[in-house]
Amino acid sequence: MQQPPESVPRWRRALIRLRMWFDTDATPVPDRLAHRIDWLRVAPFVAMHLACLGVIWVGTSAVALAVALALYALRMFAITGFYHRYFSHRAFKTSRPVRFAFALVGAACVQRGPLWWAAHHRYHHWHADTERDPHSPAVHGFLWSHAGWFLTPAAFGTDLVRLPDLRHCPELRWLDRYDTVIPVVLALLLYGCGVVLQHDFPRLGTSGPQLLVWGFFISTVVLFHATVTINSLAHRFGRRRFDTQDQSRNNFWLALLTFGEGWHNNHHFYPGSARQGFRWWELDLTWYGLKFLAALGLIWDLKPVPAWVHRKTGH
Euclidean distance between CA atoms 84 and 74, whole angstroms: 14
Euclidean distance between CA atoms 138 and 26, whole angstroms: 32
* Average pLDDT over every residue of 44-66: 96
Q: Name the residue among 180, 163, 168, 75 with its Cα closest to residue 115.
A: 163
* Percent over 90 (pLDDT), the chain: 76
- The answer to whether 79 and 140 are in contact (CB under 8 A) is no
- The answer to whether 58 and 207 are in contact (CB under 8 A) is yes
SS (HEC) of 201-221: CHHHCCCHHHHHHHHHHHHHH
Euclidean distance between CA atoms 212 and 44, whole angstroms: 16
Q: pLDDT band for 40, please (50, 70, 90 cuts).
A: confident
Q: Find the angle CA(76)-CA(118)-CA(122) to the nearest 5 degrees.
A: 120
Euclidean distance between CA atoms 91 and 98, whole angstroms: 15
* Average pLDDT over every residue of 9-26: 68
Q: pLDDT band for 88, please (50, 70, 90 cuts).
A: very high
The amino acid that residue 19 corresponds to is R
Q: Name the residue among 315, 296, 301, 268 with its Cα closest to residue 84.
A: 268
Euclidean distance between the first and the last CA atom of the chain, given in angstroms as a whole number: 58
- The answer, yes or no, to whether residue 144 has pLDDT greater than 80, is yes
Name the residue with higher pLDDT: 216 or 16. 216
The amino acid that residue 66 corresponds to is A
* Percent over 70 (pLDDT), the chain: 90
**pLDDT tens, 229-276?**
999 999 999 999 999 999 999 999 999 999 999 999 999 999 999 999
Q: Name the residue among 290, 234, 228, 221 with its Cα closest to residue 48.
A: 221
Euclidean distance between CA atoms 180 and 170, whole angstroms: 17
pLDDT of residue 6: 53
pTM, 2 dp: 0.92
Indicate the domain borders of the chain: 44-313
Q: Find the angle CA(276)-CA(280)-CA(285) to the nearest 5 degrees.
A: 50
Mean confidence (pLDDT) of the chain: 91
Question: Which residue(s) pair with 263 in the sheet?
Answer: 250
Sign of torsion over alpha carbons 262, 266, 269, 273: negative
Euclidean distance between CA atoms 218 and 190, whole angstroms: 13
**pLDDT tens, 156-205?**
888 999 999 999 999 999 999 999 999 999 999 999 999 999 999 999 99
Euclidean distance between CA atoms 253 and 308, whole angstroms: 27
pLDDT of residue 29: 53
pLDDT of residue 255: 98
